[in-house]
């Protein structure tokens, strides 16, 4: 009787060990899958963190290429901006409007814009029209 009891216990123990090794194999597989996923996530985080950011020169180049260039304005500005700038700076100077503070303030703002845009013919022409309307200047 003791022999059968021992044999039955050994059979049960063998089954338990066999099940444990089967479960261990599948759990080991899933553990390696989880470790792989974790490694991929860490790799993506590090790649994102150390991704090269464009420097100022490259960023300026990209922005410049994205903008539309008005070559007609560039050529006109090269040859005609000084003439128009000289006319506007004389006609719109704030000292020409000492009696009227409102016109003086408008002339001050226009004069600042004219000074900023002294090499841009297109903007100077817009300011000329604005000066004609706001300051009643005839050119």
Entry pTM: 0.53
Burial readout 98-114 (b: 16 or more C-beta within 10 A, e: otherwise): eeeeebeebbeebbebb
pLDDT at position 84: 93
pLDDT band at 29; cut points 50, 70, 90: confident
List, for residues 36-66, the tens digit of each pLDDT value.
999 999 999 998 888 877 788 888 888 888 8
In this predicted model, what pLDDT tens digit does every residue of 80-95 receive, in sequence order? 899 999 999 999 999 9
Q: What's residue 12's pLDDT?
A: 72
> What 8-state DSSP symbol labels residue 119?
T
Domain ranges of the chain: 1-51, 58-135
């Amino acid at each position: 009787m003791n022999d059968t009891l021992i044999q039955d216990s050994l059979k049960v123990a063998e089954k338990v060990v066999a099940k444990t090794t089967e479960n261990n194999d599948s759990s080991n597989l899933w553990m390696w899958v989880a470790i792989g996923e974790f490694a991929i996530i860490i790799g993506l985080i590090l790649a994102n963190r150390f991704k090269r950011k464009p420097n100022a020169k490259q960023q300026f180049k990209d922005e410049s290429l994205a903008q539309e260039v008005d070559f007609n304005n560039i050529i006109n500005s090269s040859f005609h901006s000084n003439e128009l700038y000289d006319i506007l700076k004389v006609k719109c100077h704030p000292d020409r409007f000492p009696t009227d503070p409102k016109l003086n303030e408008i002339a001050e703002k226009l004069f600042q814009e004219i000074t900023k845009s002294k090499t841009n013919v297109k903007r100077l022409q817009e300011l000329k029209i604005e000066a004609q309307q706001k300051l009643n200047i005839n050119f």
